[in-house]
Amino acid sequence: MSAAPAYLVVDAGTSRTRVRLWRDGGVRDELDEQVGAKDVALAGGPAPIADALRGLIASLRARHDDDVRAVVCSGMITSNVGLVEVLHATAPIALDELARRIVRHDVAGVTDLPTYFVPGVKTVGTSGGWDGLPAFDVMRGEEVEIAGLLATLDLAPPLAFFHCGSHHKLIELSAGAVVERSVTAITGELLAAIRERTILASSLAALDDFVPDPVAVAAGLRHGRTLGLGRAAFLVRVGQTIAGFDAAAVTAFLLGALAALDLQLIEHELPPSMPLVIYGGGLFPAILRDALLAEGGRDVRVVGPEASHHAAVVGTVRLLEAHFAAEAGRPT
């Protein structure tokens, strides 16, 4: 049996729930199931996630003789389409203060272990109406990722993070690891929707092991900026059916056109001098890095998907242990 306490770290997103066993500073095992917030929404209650967690936790505990101290959850599992809804903390908020806001809520029928939930963070604008709306935002899950990235990489605020996934999210941190705000775009979902639900589907190449042509990406970036996404996206179809470009070329073009949305967001929201850490999966991190470096003037760093996933677990455990230290009156 391990001398240090082990934790079960739960990350439940839109379509997948993952449980990892953390012990002695690392992930020792993990299991997942294709169940998430969308299943809760369709079922009208938390039963799908509760059932999945019950089985995943029992299986991991059966496989390991560990003194598991607690279960700790983050992400969409803390939302109204999760297992237990936890109200967002409000930015600006220091990560140390966020740790103190962690909520214990044991869930009968899921596990007999103490269960903790890390709140997400909301950004609230100072004025109402449509003109004030862009100053509002929410996030659930990215707060633990940035806590982990700060803990595992040589990073010092002030800086910003840009998460690439289903949603692309810009998160600004000031000195003292204070989360100042977040800004979200649905770039990843737009790509999925275009690929699955539009006439462009037959023109596009598969993205598994896809290596985009940088010339085509640059063309998509350029036309996305000048023509807008609607027109640039339709150029995929005419490019493939009339202009003679192949599926790989127009797919890279579309990625560039979508990335133009993120570049506009970054340039609008951040001063050119602020360092930016881009992290997450897919092809967008490298595309955005290359585009930003080509423009010059900004310190840009990319963190790959494996390091990003690991950072999320590290950040969750760091926040939980800071919560325990605060409860015990110890310095964090």
Question: How far is residue 67's CA from residue 59's CA, in Å, rounded to a whole number?
Answer: 15
Confidence of residue 66 (pLDDT cuts 50, 70, 90): confident
The model's pLDDT over 190-245, given as tens digits with 9 standing for 90+, comes to 999 999 999 999 999 999 999 999 999 999 999 999 999 999 999 999 999 999 99
Say which amino acid occupies 54.
Answer: R
Question: How far is residue 59's CA from residue 214's CA, in Å, rounded to a whole number?
Answer: 45
Question: How far is residue 189's CA from residue 198's CA, in Å, rounded to a whole number?
Answer: 13
* DSSP SS3 for 213: coil
User: What pLDDT score does 3 carry?
Assistant: 61
> What CA–CA distances, in Å, run from 95 to 49, 92, 134, 148, 311?
27, 10, 24, 11, 15
Could you give the domains of the chain? 6-185+305-327 (3.30.420.300), 187-298 (3.30.420.310)
Pair 68, 111: CB distance under 8 Å: no
The model's pLDDT over 277-298, given as tens digits with 9 standing for 90+, comes to 999 999 999 999 999 999 998 9
Q: Is the pLDDT of residue 1 over 50?
A: no
- Which of 84-98, 217-231, 255-269, 305-319 is least confident? 305-319
Pair 159, 171: CB distance under 8 Å: no
| Nearest CA among 49, 31, 32 for reference residue 40 | 49
Among the residues of the chain, which ranges form H helices?
37-43, 47-63, 95-100, 129-132, 142-152, 187-197, 214-227, 229-241, 247-269, 284-295, 305-327
User: What pLDDT score does 67 carry?
Assistant: 85
Beta-strand pair 300-303/17-23: unpaired
User: What pLDDT score does 213 carry?
Assistant: 98
Question: How far is residue 32's CA from residue 55's CA, in Å, rounded to a whole number?
Answer: 10
| Nearest CA among 166, 189, 172 for reference residue 265 | 172
Q: Is the pLDDT of residue 61 over 90?
A: yes
Q: Is the pLDDT of residue 327 over 70?
A: yes
The model's pLDDT over 173-196, given as tens digits with 9 standing for 90+, comes to 999 999 999 999 999 999 999 999
Copy the structure tokens of residue 131: 């003109």
